[in-house]
């Protein structure tokens, strides 16, 4: 007779001081200039610093030369991108990409004016993108030449109330229920008009 006495570890309390904001999100690229044209020229997010470095890489047990660029957001956070001097390092270190099955992405919050400007830029360039109406936000997804997907998210006017309602609904219980097999949707805001 088997007795399963798996205990749930107690949760630690949240940090006394939460992280202030994202510092940067880093991604590996094959060609910094091709990436710059996408991020700065097409999307309009400015290049604000370039760092040329040599770091010791333990995996290679050797020095690794790289170029690290930053493209800044209004709050001081940034997108950053690495290109390695050794062309083989790109394939060695980039994350695997599953064609047409990619859910990994970085979402950035924008206002309606910026959302529509990005949309106009992409349409004018004939660059492919997708949009999704989530109910609590409208999202535009665009993927770089290196398969880095950025979501531009425009929040619904009532999104603070929506997120407060979701927080009050006990997100830990809802996660446990979903993991246990309850697939009942809890997003009933899809019908609301966002723009």
Q: In what order do the strands lie in the sheet with 47-57?
A: 24-28, 78-84, 62-72, 47-57
User: Each residue of 57-69: pLDDT tens digit?
Assistant: 888 888 888 899 9
CA–CA distance, 120 with 126 (Å, rounded to integer) = 10
- Give SS3 for 49: strand
Percent of the chain with pLDDT over 90: 46
Task: Determine the pLDDT at residue 2.
Answer: 47
Percent of the chain with pLDDT over 70: 92
| Domain ranges (residues) in the chain | 21-94, 103-195
Q: What is the pTM of this model?
A: 0.80
Homologous superfamily (CATH) for 21-94: 2,3-Dihydroxybiphenyl 1,2-Dioxygenase, domain 1 (3.10.180.10)
Which tokens hold the place of 78?
């940034």
Taking 60 as the threshold, does the pLDDT of residue 1 lie above it? Answer: no
Bridge partners, residue 151, by sequence: 107, 141
Fold match, 21-94 / 103-195: no
Task: Tell which CATH architecture fits domain 103-195.
Answer: 2-Layer Sandwich (3.30)
Which of 14-18, 21-25, 125-129 comes out lowest in average pLDDT? Answer: 14-18
User: Each residue of 136-169: pLDDT tens digit?
Assistant: 999 999 999 998 999 999 999 998 898 888 888 8
User: Each residue of 51-103: pLDDT tens digit?
Assistant: 998 888 888 888 888 899 999 999 999 999 999 998 788 888 887 766 655 67
């Amino acid at each position: 007779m088997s007795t399963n006495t798996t205990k749930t570890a107690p949760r630690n309390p949240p940090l006394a001081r939460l992280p202030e904001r994202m510092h940067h999100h880093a991604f590996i690229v094959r060609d910094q200039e091709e990436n710059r044209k996408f991020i700065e020229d097409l999307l309009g997010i400015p290049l604000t610093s370039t760092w040329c470095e040599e770091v010791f890489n333990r995996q290679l047990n050797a020095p690794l030369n790289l170029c690290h660029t930053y493209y800044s957001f209004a709050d001081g956070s940034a997108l950053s991108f690495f290109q390695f001097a050794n062309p083989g390092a790109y394939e060695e270190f980039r994350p695997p990409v599953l064609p047409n099955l990619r859910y990994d992405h970085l979402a950035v919050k924008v206002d309606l004016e910026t959302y529509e400007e990005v949309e106009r830029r992409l349409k004018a360039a004939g660059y492919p993108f997708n949009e999704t109406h989530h109910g609590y936000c409208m999202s535009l997804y665009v993927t770089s030449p290196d398969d880095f997907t950025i979501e531009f998210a425009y929040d619904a006017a009532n999104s603070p109330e929506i997120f407060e309602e979701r927080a009050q609904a006990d997100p830990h219980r809802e996660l446990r229920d979903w993991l246990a097999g309850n697939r009942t949707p809890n997003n009933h805001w899809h019908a609301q008009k966002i723009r």
